[in-house]
Structure 1
Amino acid sequence: MTNVKNGLMASVKTRMGDPLRRSADALIIGTGLTSLLGLAFWALAARCLPTEAVGVGAALMSTVTLLANFATLGMRNGLLRFLPGAGSGTLRLILTCYAFCAGAAMLAAGIFLAGQPVWAEKLGFLRESPLTVLAFVLGTAVWVIFVLQDQVLIGLRRTGWVPIQNGVSSVLKIAALPLLASTVAWAVFAATVLPAVLAVLFVAALVLRFARQAAALDPRPPAEARVPLARLVRFAAPDHLASLLWFATTDVLTLIVLHVAGAEASAYWFMANTVGYALYLVTSNVGSALIAESAHDPENATAHARRALLHSAQLVVPAALAGILLAPLMLHLMGPHYAENATGALRLILASAIPQLVVGIGISTARVRGDMRTVLGVYAFTAAFTWGGSWVALGWWGLTGIGVVILVNQCLVALFLLCSGRSGLWADRRGWRSFAAEAWRLPRAWRQWRNSRRSARLVAPALAACGLPADTQSRLLTSDSDTLVLAVGGAEGELVVKIAISPAASRGIDLHAAAVAGLGAKLGGDLAVLLPRTVHQATLDGRRVLAETRLAGRTATATATDPAAGDAVARTVLATIGRIHSATGLLREIDEGLLAEWVDGPIAAIRQEYGLPGTAAKLDRLSAELRGAWLGRQVLTGWVHGDLWPGNVLLGWEPGTPRVSGIVDWENARVVGLPDTDLVHWWLTTQPGELGSAVLDALERPDGLRADLARLGVELPNENLEIEHLVLQTWLWHVEAGLARASTNRVGLVWLARNVGPVIKLFDVDNRKTRAGGLR
């Protein structure tokens, strides 16, 4: 129980320490609280007021809300976008927005009153006297400021006040309704607007305080901090049009249902859409927090977008799945006819909330970038597709057809944002290439998440087995195998603890320990310190556990994006591994025993996993190719690492020069191997794309591979061997190791299809490279 409590407290502390998640949670709580109190308000109104007064009050507040939405003039998102960086211009920006929007609200209210006899005959009491006109006009102006002040608080990163002021306003509204019931038609309006006046005054005092704090922290002069009006208008105008399109999409859709299918169908649709749209509001609230946080910290906008997407998904996906299962029950609460006629539509709307996660976050990031063409284009496409598609689908599938249209629309828009690079989830906007690259990383991310769950359960007993206190601080490191790798502190300094979670991982740990012991005995001086030293080995419930010294330095993957630094690192690494090869090198003839180990073993492993038609014959040709080329050849052999890539090399830095400080993960090492394969393996794993494409490239242009190695100052130890055969041998050992190192996190069919299939295909009967019996 104590562990559960501590874990819960740690989780809450983590969430509260993240400004984005804290803001998003506050907005979601505020929305839920306002909705519940709003339901209570209307339930009370139904008891305190005549039915006609409730209807008139609802129509009046709907009118005020509609006019206020028009009068926001795009400043909702405009305030979110520009307030975080306004500094000493904060108060000026807020007052300017309030003035413009309040003026627009009064103008809109005046236009409505002028045409009231035409479009709202039952609201004639609004024009009874100058006092009623003034009350309606000023009430509308107050309401638009009440709507905007949520965005002001979010933009100032004071989102915690949003649920407080909205909750208090809703409670005051409920309390005021019985006191104002005698005003009948005005009761709902007065009970809603009067608490809003108090909320506006209270938030205005808060805003004045927060604006002064922002000005005090801003070193810029006021003139420099001022947000140009033209820039604000360029953002707000298209955003306002997009927002109106979004509101109109739902409203017009209700009218389409009413026109095509009748009043009953319209009621069924309205209830299904109201329930399903609640999940859209979750993403919308997270998106608002994302805009404010990204505007405040633009350098980390991509990271904020990913965290926002994850946070939204953690809330929306479970709720959507649960709602899909419980849809009939939820609608049955409103009456059996609702469940009978609207269940299909509700389920599809709930399902559409999942792709809408990408759409909502993508639109928010577009607003941060100022990419208003994307914002407007998405909403225009959504409106046109939804209206046109629903008009047609209603006749075919009824209300369920509208759900299909909405789901397809959200999927198409999400796919467009991902494939066009406009989702905001990647900084470089490579479009579909970024999307595809991230999609291929999903299995790795899943493995890391699963490993973190396992480590929480296994760490304490593993540490105890290694003679370390159970409360020793530990940190899970990245691993693609069935081995949990942790960095921990110990009496002998920083340690790495490896915990096997499968028999394959146990074998790997034993092979690694044997390799570092055997090779360490042969090396001396500065080469011996490049290997980790085993401190403790144990078996825990059938799992092997290993504790070893943690070598200093950072992995060489940090230089992957800098070609010049990458070349410098490659020269150093290959020179260092070359010294290890020389220290352990022996001349040897390649005999049947070596060929059985080098060639037959890996090919047998591939046969077992990759059993597509024709594969056996192709593998036979590959075996014959290598056997025919190598049997009886004199070669230099020695210890090889077997998995030499930047992630397994640790670097220290002399002034301006990289230095190898460690080489780790020796479970694929061979006592008798071809040193050339380590060099080729480094080249293959530092090429763009996956292993299979790098192997094909090396076989197509072997001279290019030789030139690249020569540029790095590398001479192959066995120059008499054809480099194509070395590439194939390196590939065989890599695939064999990948198949053997894991049974839980094993390589999948997609990896085999991309990295094994294309290479095997070279050994088709009609392949020009193998027709004559040789690669050259």
Structure 2
Amino acid sequence: MRTAASARDTSAFVLERITAGTRLRREHDDIIRTALAAYAAAGRQAGQPGEDEGKWVHNSHRATWVREDCVVKVARSPYGETALRRDLEARGRIHAQARWSAWRQLVPRTLAEHATGDRFAVVEERLPGLPLSDLMDDVSLMARVRGRLADLREATSHDVAADDMVSTWFLDPGATVAALLRRHGHRRAAAAVAQWASDVAGSLRGTTCRVALVHGDLWPGNVLLGSRGRLGVIDWDQASFHDAALHDALHLTLHPVRTERRVDLGLLIRSLIVSRDDDPVLSAALARTEVGKFLHDTGITERDALVWYWLRHVDRMTREPGHATNPRWISNNVVAVATTIHQGRRTT
């Protein structure tokens, strides 16, 4: 028998679902209008987007309309708009400045940008090809792609004083990750991470390091492979024009291992630090990153290079809404490596 209280609960649940559905429909219509307006701003004409008008890809922060003639990206959140604007700025800079000319054929040009109300959209050319994430099983192909991208990074590389980079590379992300660990009750691990960042930063002061144009999120899904081996690279919102290339190299190479093993990045990094010598697959994957080349540029150890990559990845991910409050993500990606650093310091 239903009580008055259960009836109220049911009514509240139904009302909440109706409200959520209305909000989603309103957002859907708003995104469609913005996408069509942006498409028109690029000098195109289209009817209402449908099955024959390309496809839509959604995530929490962006809706992407993939058409034959272009790609339209519409922000769904303030973070999504910030990311779109960073991507727009980075791609524009690559195409505008001569020093990055080696990258231009790989980077989509902007066709239009459009702002209306609280929506922001960008239209960019659609590069031909399949995402490399569909081709990761081809080891020789992946090797050729890594080599091509390494050549491009080298073409844009130059030396800088390490003193100018240590805060960005170590001290600031170390402080961010340490604060996150303290908030979740891991004070000793937090102290170990902060001390590691300080120690490595101190070891580099007074030296020079090699930096280059770095994508910042170079997983295989952001690399396109077209006919005759033509490459394309999309989604430049995490780009840096004077950064260490280690992150891109490790990210591109280790992602297939993560996918195959279905593990979070933090758990994979912990395995690489602790037990890679007992795991031929991990050892081979690390060798493919050619991490030694980057160690020569910075003068740090292989273990520290892995921690550095992890630290900056976590620092970046915590800036995206949702990760810093997700207990599972924190456990597998932050605590797993931080406690390994703490244990390593206790035994040295």
Structure-2-length-normalised TM-score: 0.78
Choose the corresponding residue for 1:664, options 234, 242, 253.
234
24, 31, 50: which is aligned to 1:458? 31
Q: Does 1:595 align with 2:166?
A: yes
User: Alignment partner for residue 644 of structure 1, among 218, 223, 239?
Assistant: 218
CA–CA distance in structure 2, aligned partners of residues 452 and 718 of structure 1: 51
Task: State the distance in 2 between where 1:577 and 1:601 align.
Answer: 28
In the aligned structure 1, how far is the partner of 2:246 from the partner of 2:89?
Answer: 22
Q: Which amino acid aligns with 2:67?
A: V
Question: Which residue number corresponds to residue 439 of structure 1?
Answer: none
CA distance in 1, matches of 2:197, 2:290: 32
Alpha-carbon distance in structure 2 between the residues aligned to 1:484 and 1:750:
26
Structure 2 residue aligned with 1:215: none
Q: Is the 8 A contact 1:462 1:540 kept in 2?
A: no
Judge conservation of contact 1:535–1:547 (CA < 8 Å) in 2: yes
Match of 1:501 among 76, 81, 99: 76
Q: 1:715 to 1:622 in 2, by over 3 A?
A: closer
Structure 1 residues 588 and 484: CA distance shift in structure 2, 3 A: same
Q: Distance in 2 between matches of 1:716 and 1:701?
A: 22
- Find the residue that maps to 1:729 and give its secondary structure: helix
1:301-450 alignment, distance < 5 Å: 328=2
Q: Which amino acid aligns with 1:547?
A: V
Aligned AA (2:148): T
Equivalent position SS for 1:770 = helix
Is 2:57 the counterpart of 1:477?
yes
Q: Give the structure with the higher percent strand.
A: 2
Question: Which of 500, 518, 527 in structure 1 is aligned with 2:93?
Answer: 518
1:537 touches 1:545 (CA, 8 Å); kept in 2? yes
User: Which segments of 5 or more consecutive residues in structure 2 lack a partner in the other structure?
Assistant: 7-22
Equivalents in 2 of 1:584, 1:478: separation in Å? 33
CA deviation after TM superposition for structure 1 residue 755, in Å: 0.8
Per the alignment, in what secondary structure is the counterpart of residue 665 of structure 1? Answer: coil
1:751 matched to 2:324? The reply is no
Deviation, 1:523, is 3.5
Identity %: 24
Task: Look up the match of 2:251.
Answer: 681
1:576 to 2:132 alignment: no
| Residues 432-480 of structure 1: CA deviation (Å, up to 9, x unaligned) | xxxxxxxxxxxxxxxxxx999844541222321442546252421254x
Q: Any residues of structure 2 matched to 1:67-78 within 5 Å, and which? A: none
Query: One-letter code of the match for 2:154?
Result: S
Cα offset for 1:640? 1.0
Residues 623, 750 of structure 1: alpha-carbon distance in 2 compared, 3 angstrom cutoff: same
Match of 1:94 in 2: none
User: How far is 1:714 from its partner?
Assistant: 7.7
Report the AA paired with residue 327 of structure 2: L
Q: Work out the CA distance in 2 between the residues paired with 1:550 and 1:451.
A: 28
Alpha-carbon distance between aligned partners in 1 of 2:153 and 2:337, rounded to the nearest angstrom: 28
Q: Does 1:530 align with 2:106?
A: yes
How much has 1:749 moved relative to structure 2?
2.3
Amino acid at match of 1:728: V
Deviation per residue, 1:296-315 (Å, 9 max, x gap): xxxxxxxxxxxxxxxxxxxx
Residues 502, 743 of structure 1: 8 Å contact kept: no
DSSP 3-state at the match of 2:67: strand
User: CA distance change for structure 1 residues 478 and 724 in 2, over 3 Å: closer, same or farther?
Assistant: farther
Quote the residue 1:175 is aligned against: none
Describe the shift of the 1:621–1:744 C-alpha distance in structure 2 as closer, same or farther (beyond 3 A). Answer: closer
Q: Which residue type is aligned with residue 541 of structure 1?
A: G
Q: Distance in 2 between matches of 1:451 and 1:722?
A: 50
Cα 1:601–1:660, aligned 2, differ >3 Å: closer, same or farther? farther
Once residues 140 and 111 of structure 2 are traced to their aligned partners in structure 1, the CA distance between those partners, rounded to angstroms, is 33
Correspondence 1:618-767 to 2 at 5 A:
618-654=192-228, 659-687=229-257, 688=261, 689-701=263-275, 707-708=284-285, 710=287, 716-719=293-296, 720-740=299-319, 742-743=320-321, 748-764=326-342, 767=343
Measured in 2, the distance between the counterparts of 1:697 and 1:681 equals 16
1:617 Cα shift? 1.8
Q: Which amino acid aligns with 1:501?
A: R
Q: Note if contact 1:621-1:763 (Cα within 8 Å) is conserved in structure 2.
A: no
Deviations 1:235-279, CA, capped at 9 Å, x for gaps: xxxxxxxxxxxxxxxxxxxxxxxxxxxxxxxxxxxxxxxxxxxxx
The offset of 1:607, in angstroms, is: 4.3
Note the alpha carbon deviations across 1:627-649, whole angstroms, 9 max, x for none: 23433332211111111111111
Q: Give the deviation of 1:751 after TM superposition.
A: 1.1
Q: Which TM-score applies when normalising by structure 1? A: 0.37
Matches within 5 A, 1:289-308: none
User: Contact 1:557–1:647 (CA<8 Å) still a contact in 2?
Assistant: yes
In structure 2, how many angstroms separate the alpha carbons of the residues matched to 1:557 and 1:636? Answer: 29
CA-based RMSD of the aligned residues comes to 3.0
Task: Report the equivalent of 2:115.
Answer: 539
Counterpart AA for 2:210? L
The structure-2 alpha-carbon separation of the partners of 1:674 and 1:706, relative to structure 1 and needing over 3 Å to count, comes to: farther
Question: What stretches of structure 1 of length at least 5 have no aligned partner?
Answer: 1-326, 330-342, 344-449
Structure 1 stretch 541-550 or stretch 749-758: which is displaced more? 541-550
More helix by share: 1
Local SS of the residue matching 2:293: coil
Structure 1, residues 710-765: CA drift from partner, whole Å, max 9, x if none?
Answer: 4577862443432222212221222222222x33787722111111110111232x
Question: Is the contact between residue 692 and residue 756 of structure 1 (CA under 8 Å) also seen in structure 2?
Answer: yes
Identify the structure with bigger relative contact order (alpha carbons < 8 Å, sequence gap 6+).
Answer: 2
Contact 1:738–1:747, Cα closer than 8 Å, also in 2: no
Contact 1:640 1:675 in 2 (8 A): yes
The equivalent residue for 2:19 is none
Letter in structure 2 aligned against 1:539? A
Cα distance in 2 for partners of 1:499, 1:589 equals 39
